[in-house]
């Protein structure tokens, strides 16, 4: 004999199904939000040429190199040359060691007159020295990127720089600010609350970029602050009609109802 479900039983079953769906939905979105943190501290660089997943130190170095290039009024191509060099030499890391006495982002050697070891481990100083040498290379703007890099570095194998040209073009478009909203970073929150240090961040930016250039280079400045947000405990970067927040950094730039004309940090 067929047994029919009573109305109370059906009601209970529906409630159980709805609760199960709600729990699944909540768990799914919680995992989706925490998954970037599980992968550690990262930055994503996105342009029409492609996407790069880099760590926060690499993003900071890339942002600093771009700021120095703009301060020297150099082209995006000059920046690309610096990037192919830095990626090959150090993977965009400020290394305290290297071949023989080489140190820093560009693996410059104190014994070859680039500066002291301490100076060369300052990315701003090291980048200035690199660009000063690049500007002395005849017709460097017309050379292939790897040839221009080799003319500065005089590496044992100059062809190795060529393999990084695609990455260099993505980084240059993003960090020079030609492509808006191209850089966002994420990292786990601090275990203990730390006060933001916006003034310290501004001083370091001005050291690399210069005070006069900052108001005119909105997306370069915005990308620089996002890359350095963890270092200076910044919670928010706002520009134009979008905002990046440390709390949801993996979501990238979000629409803001309060547009701003200059980059604001907090």
DSSP 45-80: EEETTEEEEE-HHHHHHHHHHHHHHHHTT--HHHHH
- Low-confidence stretches of the chain (pLDDT < 50) are 1-2, 10, 21-37
Cβ atoms of 247 and 234 within 8 Å: the answer is no
CA 165 – CA 168 distance, rounded (Å): 5
Query: In this predicted structure, what is the pLDDT of residue 158?
Result: 80
Q: Residue 242, SS3?
A: strand
Q: How far apart are the first and last CA of the chain?
A: 71
Query: In this predicted structure, what is the pLDDT of residue 191?
Result: 86
Tens-place pLDDT, residues 95-136? 999 999 999 999 999 999 999 999 999 999 999 999 999 999
Query: In this predicted structure, what is the pLDDT of residue 205?
Result: 98
β-strand pairing of 183-186 with 42-47: antiparallel
Q: Six-digit token pair at 173?
A: 């478009």
For tokens 């047994």, what's the residue?
3
CA 40 – CA 55 distance, rounded (Å): 9
- What ranges do the domains of the chain cover? 48-179, 192-266
The whole-model pTM stands at 0.85
Query: In this predicted structure, what is the pLDDT of residue 16?
Result: 52
How many residues in total does the chain contain?
Answer: 266
Best CA proximity match to 175, nearest among 79, 266, 71: 79
Residues β-bridged to residue 255: 242
Cβ atoms of 238 and 263 within 8 Å: the answer is yes
């Amino acid at each position: 004999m067929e047994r029919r479900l009573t109305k109370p039983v059906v009601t209970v079953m529906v409630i159980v199904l709805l609760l199960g769906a709600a729990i699944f939905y909540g768990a799914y979105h919680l995992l989706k939000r925490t998954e970037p943190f599980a992968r550690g501290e990262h930055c994503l660089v996105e342009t029409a040429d492609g996407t790069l997943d880099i760590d926060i130190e690499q993003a900071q170095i890339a942002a600093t190199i771009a700021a120095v290039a703009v301060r020297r009024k150099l082209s995006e191509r000059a920046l690309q040359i610096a990037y192919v060099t830095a990626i090959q030499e150090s993977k965009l890391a400020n290394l305290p060691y290297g071949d023989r006495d080489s140190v820093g982002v560009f693996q410059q050697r104190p014994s070859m007159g680039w500066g002291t070891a301490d100076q060369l481990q300052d990315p701003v100083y090291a980048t200035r020295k690199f660009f000063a040498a690049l500007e002395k290379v005849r017709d460097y703007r017309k050379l292939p990127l790897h040839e221009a890099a080799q003319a500065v570095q005089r590496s044992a194998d100059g062809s190795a720089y060529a393999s990084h040209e695609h990455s260099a073009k993505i980084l240059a478009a993003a960090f020079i600010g030609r492509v808006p909203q191209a850089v966002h970073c994420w990292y786990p929150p601090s275990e203990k609350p730390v006060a933001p240090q916006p003034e310290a961040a501004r001083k370091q930016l001005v050291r690399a970029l210069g005070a006069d250039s900052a108001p005119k280079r909105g997306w370069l400045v915005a990308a620089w602050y996002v890359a350095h947000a963890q270092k200076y405990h910044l919670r928010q970067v706002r520009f134009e009609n979008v905002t990046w927040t440390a709390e949801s950094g993996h979501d990238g730039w979000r629409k803001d109802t309060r547009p701003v004309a200059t980059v604001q940090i907090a």
